[in-house]
Structure 1
């Protein structure tokens, strides 16, 4: 069991809150204790405090779920809520036209976080949920975020090792570098079964007010069911529309050549 000495009350409360993850959104007290590694009595006290504050709520079965107060706080997050508001009309149009998964993601550290998704029950199964995380090097949205993230981000991702999720995953840094350069040149990334077998995706960047890439938008399909080239024009148009809604000063198609952030200056 992890030592609790020297830790602030706030850090322990946060650890209890972050025990809740996609796929683990309804937990018993014992499960929270196991996931945090803290003493049972400490977890029970923290849970009671969070219940009183409305951060957690208790189900009829006695388990705990994230409370409405957290959602209210999340609506103030500038990286997700304004982005979702700008993106939803375009995502709805894409979803209505394609009847495939359409998802929006932002970068958090060395991963992509899905902040919105529209799905069809008959579409291919996905490895993540809304709020879930995807690798930067092998997912469509991840590759877009990595392509525009600069040399330091690329070095950090490759330094920790490129995990092979399927036989198709690119794990050679130089090959990945070439794919990212192609993404910047064309304005989109195509990924074929690199994160999960039978799933393919195409993704485009969403630009913010100063020309930075703030998010990535993708369509995910079952391998062999859709010609990804036919999806690209609508996806690019949607990315441009969201970028305008976010005050993007640079559109995907009219921005001209995209500088290569991976290119190191000559000595």
Structure 2
């Protein structure tokens, strides 16, 4: 998977391949796997052992990586210092932008970032893909009721507070596919919560489908949703499966970034 904001052009003369390789090695380190041996990094990266050894030696010299007493590699303090500095100025829009661009570029659909508000889900950012469909009804500033469209629905599924305030028996229908029955809506939200994503199909705008996943803070509370939307026929079969995986992955990565921001 490309890193957020990566242009995708390998012919750019300003790009230094060795630096990209070093960065890709660093991306394997995380909370779930804080240390790696040389052999393990060689296997997971697909690079040869000599290249991995030289890159890691360079990262150690730069202060980005340390060695454990057993000889394994771990992230150095310098990375945390730089990361903390960046996080102090980070907000949800800037944290999500690169992932939204990747989704829009990768699938050609329009990517959306929405946050919860009193009257519904507010679209605070969007990135258009190359597909010809322009979803005219959803722009920055648009407020969508929580019981329709993928982005709002996934937020409703992940917030008991929103559920208690929003679900009722007189919900308006936007199309003949809008879910307005309170009992059926609750059952649908339970499925969304269990599966970790929401899928909509012409329930807010005819002919438009979308996939959304929640962005969660360190306490488990909902922050926002990220989604992609486009023509219904582009959200079927293997294409749909790929979009679900990528949107869920983007949401998880953004959640991790937001959870790291100092309180």
- Considering the TM-score relative to the shorter chain, is it more than 0.5? yes
When the two chains are superposed, the root-mean-square deviation of aligned CA atoms in Å is: 1.8
TM-superposed CA distance for 1:127, in Å, is 1.2
Partner of 1:90: 99
Equivalent residue for 1:187, pick from 168, 190, 196: 196
Partner of 1:145: 155
Partner of 1:234: 246
In the TM superposition, 1:83-122 aligns within 5 A as 83-120=92-129, 122=132
Partner of 2:259: 247
Is contact 1:101-1:220 (8 Å) kept? Answer: yes
Counterpart-to-counterpart distance in 2, 1:196 and 1:103:
15
Question: Does the alignment pair 1:211 with 2:212?
Answer: no
TM superposition score normalised by structure 1:
0.60
Is contact 1:211-1:248 (8 Å) kept? Answer: no
Secondary structure class of the residue paired with 2:225: strand
Partner of 2:172: 163
TM-superposed CA distance for 1:248, in Å, is 6.3
Secondary structure class of the residue paired with 1:161: coil
TM-superposed CA distance for 1:185, in Å, is 0.3
Counterpart-to-counterpart distance in 2, 1:142 and 1:161:
18
Is contact 1:144-1:183 (8 Å) kept? Answer: yes
**1:20-41 CA distances to partner (integer Å, 9 max, x unpaired)?**
xxxxxxxxxxxxxxxxxxxxxx
Is contact 1:105-1:116 (8 Å) kept? Answer: yes
**1:190-232 CA distances to partner (integer Å, 9 max, x unpaired)?**
1110001000111000011222110001110111123222211
TM-superposed CA distance for 1:242, in Å, is 0.6
Secondary structure class of the residue paired with 1:88: helix
Please state which structure has a larger fraction of its residues in helix. Answer: 2
Secondary structure class of the residue paired with 2:233: coil
Counterpart-to-counterpart distance in 2, 1:175 and 1:160:
11
Aligned residue pair count: 168
TM-superposed CA distance for 1:160, in Å, is 7.1
Secondary structure class of the residue paired with 1:246: helix
Secondary structure class of the residue paired with 2:167: helix
**1:66-124 CA distances to partner (integer Å, 9 max, x unpaired)?**
xxxxxxxxxxxxxxx70011101111111111111100100001300001100136124
Counterpart-to-counterpart distance in 1, 2:126 and 2:215:
15
Is contact 1:101-1:120 (8 Å) kept? Answer: yes
Secondary structure class of the residue paired with 2:227: strand
Flag structure 2 segments of 5+ consecutive residues without an equivalent. Answer: 1-89
Partner of 2:139: 129
Is contact 2:119-2:143 (8 Å) kept? Answer: no
Flag structure 1 segments of 5+ consecutive residues without an equivalent. Answer: 1-80, 250-267
TM-superposed CA distance for 1:157, in Å, is 1.6
